[in-house]
Amino acid sequence: MDGSPLSKLSPELRNHIWEYAVTMQHPVKVAACSDPDLYYCTRFEDPAITAACKQTRSESLLMYYAKNKFEMDIAHEGTWLLNPDCFDQPADAWEWLDTINRAKHDAVSYLKINICGIPYWFAVDLDNEENGWVLMMGKIKECGYDESRVELAAFHALAELPVSDERDREDVKKTEAEIEKLRGIIR
Looking at the predicted structure, is the pLDDT value of residue 36 above 60? no
Task: Residue 24: name the closest of 67, 56, 71, 85 by CA.
Answer: 67
d(CA 56, CA 6): 10
Pick from 73, 64, 138: nearest CA to 103:
64
Kindly report the pTM of this predicted structure.
0.80
Residue type, 42: T
Residue 146: partners with Cβ closer than 8 Å, 6 or more residues away: 186, 187
- Distance separating alpha carbons of residues 184 and 113, to the nearest angstrom: 15
> Tell me: the pLDDT tens digits for 132-166?
778 888 889 999 999 999 998 876 554 555 556 67
Q: Per DSSP, what are the bridge partners of residue 71?
A: 29, 112
